[in-house]
Amino acid sequence: PLRRARKLAAYCGYETATVDPRLAERNFGEWEMRPWDELYREIRRQPDLLLLEERNPELVTPPGGESIDEMRRRVTDLVEEVCLHPEWERVAFFCHGGVINMGRWIKGVIDFSDLFIDLPHYGSITTLSFTPEELAHTE
């Protein structure tokens, strides 16, 4: 739903592409646009948050934002919806690198530790195929 993704879709001939909010980049809330090193320093100053980050980093929720687990659920919901639709053999998503890597993590192509590393470049193509059986393990 973000401008760069819509612009790329239009450039590729999909001017009337369906906009789905589940393809939005992760909502970092109050952490938006802050450098990672600054955020890590803030996490380290909060013992409860640091413990959660060490044990269950996917549950850490930026103030006013969403956790990685919440993002995973919304991206999985969209992928399941598309995979289970009998007429949709191929679908093109125009989205940001974090969403693409979320799909790669759901698929098992990357580890959790690589979720925010090596993000796909703008305009690049990442191909993923999902089966309902593969999506069943994400619950």
**What are the tens digits of pLDDT across the range 7-53?**
999 999 999 999 999 999 999 898 899 887 887 787 777 766 665 66
Phi, psi angles (nearest 5°) of residue 25: -60, 160
Question: What pLDDT does residue 37 have?
Answer: 83
**What are the tens digits of pLDDT across the range 56-102?**
777 778 889 998 889 999 999 998 888 777 777 788 899 999 999 99
**One domain for residues 18 and 82:** yes
Residue 132 binned pLDDT confidence (cut-offs 50, 70, 90):
confident
Range of the domain at 132: 1-26+67-139
**One domain for residues 72 and 125:** yes
**One domain for residues 22 and 78:** yes
- Separation between Cα atoms, residue 34 and residue 47, nearest integer Å: 21
Say what the pTM is: 0.81
- Separation between Cα atoms, residue 99 and residue 92, nearest integer Å: 13
How many structural domains comprise the chain?
A: 2
